[in-house]
Chain A
Amino acid sequence: MENKEKLLLEIKDLKTHFFTEDGVVKAVDGVDFEVYQGETLGIVGESGCGKSVTAFSILRLLDYPGKTVGGEVIFKGENLLKKTEDEMRGIRGKEIAIIFQEPMTALNPVLTVGFQISEALMMHFKIGKKEAINKSVELLKKVEIPMPEERANEYPHQLSGGMRQRAMIAMAMSCDPILLIADEPTTALDVTIQAQILDLMMALLREFNGSLIMITHDLGVIAEIADRIAIMYAGKVVEYADKKTIFHNPLHPYTLGLLTSIPRLDVEMKRLDVIPGIVPNPLHFPSGCKFNPRCRFATDRCKKEEPSLIKIEEGHLVRCWNVDKVVKEVKKGFLVGV
């Protein structure tokens, strides 16, 4: 879209594979997207499509037997994949921070909340323990947790689910990171709290023009906050465009499937479409286009050749041979509103 805005993060053909005893799992096998300063990128896809692994790959937090085997992760002009572990440690928590999905397991049960929040500060800014705890209390206040002084001395199990997630946000934002990655931050929460958490994250980021990568399978959330969207399937980005384009002029059959399978109140719908079939087993991916077994527009070519990510128009990339057919479907008038 805009080149006037500063390009913060650029992912090029990222490949992360897991070398298990049962075979190589190509969890991420060609992911491309960009994040500009001050904007929100949404990464959407079903479970197992490689969204979380992408996030971990950016920060190089992969567990054995995972390994990033190809591509580039250009952050502020430098390739993170080429940095040393020490350098990465300086970036993690300070410039790029991550919020995990399940706050109960992501927080250490035997350390106080206050300590955990202050840890990044002590690590990156070398401040003393007392000062760090004070900052923790301030941060807890900022994320709207009542009685922050008491909370700081408590343990994670003593907080409610929503408060834990807020504490996670406080922890992630403690060093004012320029890029926040949120891996399904609201999936484990009640719907009512979801909205609050989202608002909170956006507000905090706006303070210093930070960017957000929002990973989720929930299109509703994406519709709320994303500026740009990357749709992922079977380890690859299959469509990439700004929000309006995705919702109004999707070009990939999978995107179309996703959009028509959510119930909508603003449009009259006769029935919910379902994407037939199931997500493929990463050990036995189909040949050709990974989506072809479930795609109603699939042709012979799709079964044999895997399409690459092609720029259809400015700022809109798609990985599909039959883009024209999707356009025809859309013209039939399925998508209105948003």
Chain B
Amino acid sequence: MLSYIIRRLLLLPIILIGVTFLIFSAFSLLSPMERLANYITNPGALKNPQMAERLITKYHLDDPFPLGYVHWIEKLIKGDLGWSQSANQPVWEAISQRFPATLELVLYSIIPVILVGIWLGVISAVHHNDMLDQTIRVTAIIGWSLPTFIFGLFVLFIFYGILGWLPPGRLSVWAQDIVYTGVNFKSYTHLVTIDALLNGNIPIFLDALRHLIAPIITLSYISWAGLLRITRSSMLETLRKDYVRTARAKGVDEHTVIHLHAQKNAMIPVMTMAGMMIIGMLGGVVITETVFTYPGLGFWAASSAQQLDYGSVISFALLFAVAMVVGNLIVDISYALIDPRVRLE
């Protein structure tokens, strides 16, 4: 197991370098003028072409590819991601301000993904081919046929448009005043629900929750639908294994056979898939936050793409890619820990 982990860790920097290389290649498809926008705060103020030329040379924007790459990496290592035209602030600042909102959404969404996806998947497998299984399967198939944005719009329509229960955004205006101005409210974690509890402020807690429910439902649907299918097929395959028959042959009761003997094995590939699904929610975040105008990283990513804020676009690409790479690493390592056959090589 150790050699497996070491190997994965050694590959990490290589993959990350490759990622930066790919991003830079895409960035280089743009003209130097377009890329310049990432380096200066107000490109509209560029009066004459000579000034633009000077700046382009200063920032190495017309250097040959390898040199340009090196300079860009240098900038990256220093933590300088440039300027976001759409947010009108340094990219790094734009990211760190919006990160907690997205984190909060994703963390809460993990719960239904794992609980519903796995739980229903097991039930579906055990009731193989009868009515319950068919119903669950259909729900799941609809789940991954339904684009996130359509489902999100649908949820918004029903629960806000018609019922008025779950408004878009992150907080109601009155709550925003309190939280963002910091009057009588200390933001310890910047996760509003947690902070509200820490401050003992229940109304804000409930308000935040109210705004989170619809995005959580939307974000998690596709993920738990996919996880359900994987759990179901993993369980079906496992239930056919010889050792399940052995357990029955010993007189073990059916509940233990399913939930100990079978499930413990079936969960191994499912757990890694669950990890992938959660990481995959990174993509869904963009759409979900856009539909519900939830002020997180995804919303900013979409709006900066619309406004052709190239600097921001490649920055969030970099961010999401790094998150995925690290996430995959964690998932791979935990796989090695869960499966005794890998753990005790």
Contact = CB atoms under 8 A, between A and B. Distances in A.
B341 A89 contact: no
A92 B250 contact: yes
A61 B248 contact: yes
Interface residues of B, number: 22
A63 B240 contact: yes
A180 to B, nearest CB: 11
Interface string A94-126: 100110101001111111000000011001100
A92 B248 contact: yes
A102 B245 CA distance: 12
Given A111-B264, A157-B341, A158-B344, A100 B253 contact: no
A42 interface: no
Given A100-B246, A105-B241, A119 B252 contact: yes
A59 interface: yes
Given A109-B341, A155-B344, A157-B341, A100 B251 contact: no
A123 B251 CA distance: 7
A155 B245 CA distance: 18
Contact of A171 (B250, B264, B268, B339): B250
B249 A93 contact: yes
Given A108-B265, A155-B340, A92 B245 contact: no
B246 A108 contact: yes
B335 to A, nearest CB: 13
A263 interface: no
A61 B341 contact: no
B247 interface: yes
B232 interface: no
B341 A108 contact: no
B170 interface: no
A107 B241 CA distance: 10
A90 interface: yes
B339 A110 contact: yes
A105 B243 CA distance: 6
Contacts of A74: none
A89 B264 contact: no
A98 B249 contact: yes
Given A106-B245, A110-B340, A123-B253, 10 more contacts: A97-B250, A100-B245, A105-B242, A108-B261, A110-B265, A110-B268, A120-B250, A120-B251, A155-B344, A171-B246
